[in-house]
Every structure is written in C-alpha cells, then in structure tokens.
Structure 1
C-alpha cells in the first residue's frame, strides 16, 4: 500500500505504585480478543499528546500525567494500512473519563513482567521495554520558548515591552491546553512581556500566578552568555529539586545552552550506582543545536532527582532520542 498516509494514533504506558512495586495498565478489547496498551486515533487537528491523555482516560478510566515521550511504533493494521502510534510514559494522576462506548471491556494493573507476557503484540512489548529502561521520574517540567511577537524592527518601544502578535496570542492559547496536561503548580517566566504573555492563558486556565525570574532572560549587551546559561540551568534544577511540576517560559538564546548543560551534566552522572525501580540508569545525549526550538514550542523535561533523564519536544520533531541507553 505504497503512498498511503499512515493512520496516526497515540497512547500511554500508565503506571502507579502497588504493594509489590510499579504496576502498569493494560486493556482488553473484545472485538479483537487482545490485550494492549491504551491508545487510539487522533481527532482531526489534535496534538498527539492530547490524544494520548484523552485515550488513556477514555479506555482505562485514569488521568495520565505525561512524563517522557517513548520511541514511536510503526506497524500494519489487519487491513494492511500502515499505522504510527506515539507513546508517552504517564503517572496515574486520578480516575475519571471512562467512555462506555469504547472498545475496552477490561482493565488490569500488572507488574511489568506480567504485562509484558500478557500483551498480544510485539510492538507493545517493545514499548514496555523502553518504559522499563527509564529510571524513576521524580518531576516533569515544561519549558517553552515564547510565542511569536512580530519583528523587533517594527516595535518602537523597549524590546522587553514588545508584545505577542495576533498569531502569538493564538499560539499561547493552544499551548495552555497542552501544558495543562502536566498539572503544573508553578509558572515561571523570563522578564520580557512576550514571555509573560505566553503563559497568561495557562495562568488563567489554572488560576495560578506567574512568577517572573530574570534567570531565564537572554543576555543583555556585554553580558556573558555562559553565565546566563548557567543561571537558567541552575534555576531549572532548583525547580526539579523542589519536586513540583512547573512550566517555564524563556527565550531562544537561553533554552538550548541551558538544556545542553543539563544533558551533559546528567550524562556524566549516569554511571550505575545500584538498582532502580524501573530499570537501569540512562543518559540523555544532545548538543546545543539539538535543543533549539521554534517560537511557541518547547520541551517536556523529565528529571530523576537532579538528573535530566528525558527531553521530549512538544512539536514531536525529536532530533535526539528521548532516552538513550
């Protein structure tokens, strides 16, 4: 079926703690008499992450909080059509959302070895193996670059006061719906007006204040860019150590350098130190170029303690592996 556009779907490896350790969710579909991970097709125009959380809620009756984007799987459906499914690891964050008209008639929460033996398809086994390679995630941060704010040359006032343009305001509203899936409890922004405005729809949606922190500002003329990168990386680590999910809005000359520093430091500290709950330590790898993001997009950053263990692009265009052995 050459030339056929693949069917796009999304789902999640949802986990929670049980008396015997971590358990993951698998679902039974009577139509096919199979066991699989909760997943489903994207609605028209729907972001894959939104679809993944929605499908998990509808099929497994659990609200998943995204952690790390896992490698996607590609296979052919029973009619021969190609299909691509994007998966995220998700922490179970409460119940609700089950739709009785879905294809699912049973849900089980199983230890990883049992889930791996039960699922019916090799591609689901691979997804569970990728999940098992992750160290325990302690917190997830959203890091976004501010939305479009027009051209600097057309703005007569101070650059820090330059506002989002019409497209930027629309993009900020779209970002709010997506970033709310993280259930952030803190919102932090670089000082420029366009950064604060990018988080404003999210702040209104969640009824939370925006904290302005100049550690995320671009370097001023004559200021050392390396110092800015260190300050931003340190501020992100501070949030990670606090253990509370947060969303940060920063700028294009800060984000890549700060993330490259965090990734390098995490790789250096990734030597095995003993068993962890969900598999051995992994190291994230990436250069400054790998961490560049377009305006109005950004990253989900998964930390295990002080270590950055997953970086997933919100636009899905990952140029580096989300996790690397």
Structure 2
C-alpha cells in the first residue's frame, strides 16, 4: 500500500516591535474555534517561501518580510492525513492582502509569553519556542549564483559576455519570485553578463537598478582566489552592518568560501542541509557544504555583524553544481 503523501503548507511567526519588546500575530478560526499561527496549503507548484508570505497576507492582513526558516512541523490532520508545515520568522512591514474567503475571523497581536498560552496546538508552541530562541535579526540578504548560461566551449566571445540561455532565464525569473519577498533595496552583481542578467527579472519587478560590484567576481588567471573570497565576505558583512536588505549575484568559486568565512565568525542559529532542510544549531562548516548550483542560492540572516542563519534557496528543481 502506497504511503499517503503529506499535505504541504507554510506560514509565519510574524512579529512587530511593541514598547520594550515585540508582539507576534495569532489568528482565530471560528470553524475550529482555535487560535493558531497564520498558515495555509501550498498552491500547485508554489514554493513554500512564497506560500508563507501569501498566507500571512491573506489570513492576517500583514505584508511581512521573511527572515529565518524555522524547523518544520509534522502532525496528523483531524482526518488522519499527515501534514508538514514550513514556518519562517517574519517582520511585519505593513498591512494588506487580506482575503475575506479565508477561515479567519479575528487577529491578535500578543507578547510571545501570552501567545504561548493562547495557541491551541502543541506544534504551534514548539514553533514559538524556536522563534523566541532566535537572536534579533537586523538584516536579511539573498545571495545567489548566476543561472545557466550555456557551455563555455560553444561561446565564441569573451567569457564575461556569455549570456543566459533559455533555461537560465526561467531560473532567473524563479529566483526573482523568491528574492522579492525580502524586499531588497539594493541589487548587486558580479561583473559577468550572466550574473547581471540573473538579477534582471528581479530589478524589473522591483523597479530597482543593478549595481555591478567586482568584489563578487571570480578570480582571474593569476589572482589569489582567497582574496576574492575575502572581498565578497567583506562586502556582504558591510551590507549586513548597514542593516540593508539586498540581493546579490555572485559566482560558484566565490560563494562557498565567502559563506564559510561568515559562518566562522559566529555560531549559526540554524543551518539548512544540502537538501534545503533546516536542522538544529550546528557549528560552522567547510566551504564544500556551501556549494551552490547555478540558479540557486541562500537566504542569509544577520544579527549585527554575525551571520545567524543560512537557508538554501532553490527557485526550480535544477540543482546543478558545475563550476563557472
């Protein structure tokens, strides 16, 4: 007998400043007379991150910025069907998006301690505890590797001018959908054409310009690769210290080392494994653990100058890891 596929859902622990602390958002569903975190089922083909942002907007009337992916929740629904819910911590960034056909009839903002007492389910209690254990996130960056640009051997011009292929443009559009929710105010790219083009759908979506920054370039022949890694890590740290939300496109020989350098500066609160699953707290890892396929990347959360969470972003199912 085939195993029943779990229902996939996503949601958020949405927070906002309040007095000397913060408040989180809970929603009430009259059908079940329960209080829970805003969440909902994924639409066909929808990425959990975009689903989480959408569901929070529709149920709680909150435009929210995702920050850190929390451990997933697994439980059985009332009819016994298994369900898995992926949550993100999210900073409230305005109102809007409420859909009257949702099951929600009331929204409350409460300190975490009060929310823990009000929620109706133990799995929401666990999620709130995971959220409360996070340090205050001050900046979120999206770091991606350029999308597919065809084979070097079939391109007659300079490698820096090699453009995206059709599949690469599809990957770039998928990445734009994942990066837009963090509301980047700066878009930075390595100099090669394929890197700039990878951010182009996002730039058009947000009506932002792309800044070319050679700090994210791969080393040229004869250059010390470690210098490029240090330059990229330094620029990412500068962006984080400015409390800037940004999207950055770099290259495969730069990203792993830069992330390993940043992770080594502090203990990540939570890291994603190679399959994109969040795990418990883990010590910094080697650059090999941050290898990044073309058309994919990472969501980085910082507390001041410390990298506290690294979560993989994959816009499509392609997970290639070729150099270049």
TM-score, with length taken from structure 1: 0.91
Matches of 1:86 and 1:45 in 2, distance apart?
A: 15
Flag structure 1 segments of 5+ consecutive residues without an equivalent: 271-281, 318-325
Shift of 1:20: 4.3
Aligned to 1:115: 115
The match for 1:141 is 141
Contact 2:295–2:314 under 8 Å retained in 1:
no
What are the Cα deviations for residues 275-315 of structure 1, in whole angstroms up to 9, with x where unaligned?
Answer: xxxxxxx7763321221121111111101100001111113
SS in 1 for 2:71: strand
Q: Could you tell me which residue of structure 2 aligns to residue 285 of structure 1?
A: 284
Query: SS of 1:314's equivalent?
Result: strand
Q: Is the 8 A contact 2:191 2:212 kept in 1?
A: yes
Q: Per the alignment, in what secondary structure is the counterpart of residue 16 of structure 1?
A: strand
Checking the alignment, whether the CA contact within 8 Å between 1:185 and 1:245 is kept in structure 2 is yes
Distance 2:133 2:2 in 1: 34
Judge conservation of contact 1:264–1:285 (CA < 8 Å) in 2: yes
Task: Give the deviation of 1:226 after TM superposition.
Answer: 1.1
Matched, 1:56 2:56: yes
Distance 1:312 1:23, change over 3 A: same
Contact 2:295/2:315 (8 A) holds in 1: no
CA distance in 1, matches of 2:225, 2:75: 45
Q: C-alpha offsets along residues 238-296 of structure 1, whole Å, 9 cap, x if unaligned?
A: 1111112000000111101000000001239x9xxxxxxxxxxx776332122112111
| Cα deviation, residue 30, structure 1 | 0.9
Q: Distance in 2 between matches of 1:297 and 1:83?
A: 26
Q: Which consecutive unaligned segments of at least 5 residues does structure 2 have?
A: 270-280, 317-324
CA-to-aligned-CA distance 1:112-169 (integer Å, 9 cap, x gap): 1111111111111111111111100001011001010011111111111100000001
Paired residues of 2:59 and 2:104 also in contact (CA < 8 A): yes
Spell out the pairing of 1:171-182 with structure 2 (5 A cutoff). Answer: 171-182=171-182
Q: TM-score normalized by structure 2?
A: 0.91
The residue number in structure 2 matching 1:228 is: 228
Q: Is the 8 A contact 1:37 1:124 kept in 2?
A: yes
Q: Give 3-state SS (helix, strand or coil) of 1:249's partner.
A: strand
Aligned 1:269-308 pairs, distance under 5 A: 285-308=284-307
Structure-2 change in CA distance of 1:33 and 1:2 (3 Å)? farther
Structure 2: distance between partners of 1:189 and 1:84: 35
SS where residue 55 of structure 2 aligns?
helix
Q: Is residue 296–residue 315 contact of structure 2 (8 Å, CA) maintained in 1?
A: no
Other structure's SS at 1:267 match:
coil
1:62-91: per-residue Cα shift (whole Å, max 9, x none)?
A: 011010011111111011111110000000
| Equivalences for residues 181-260 of structure 1 within 5 A | 181-260=181-260
How many residue pairs align between the two structures? 305
- In structure 2, the CA distance between the partners of 1:30 and 1:196, relative to structure 1 (3 Å rule), is same
1:14-93 → structure 2 map (5 Å cutoff): 14-93=14-93
Runs of 4+ in 1 over 6 A off after TM superposition: none
Q: Could you tell me how far 1:109 is from its partner in structure 2?
A: 0.5
User: Could you tell me which residue of structure 1 aligns to residue 320 of structure 2?
Assistant: none
Deviation at 1:178, TM superposition (A): 1.9
Q: Tell me how large the CA RMSD over aligned residues is.
A: 1.7
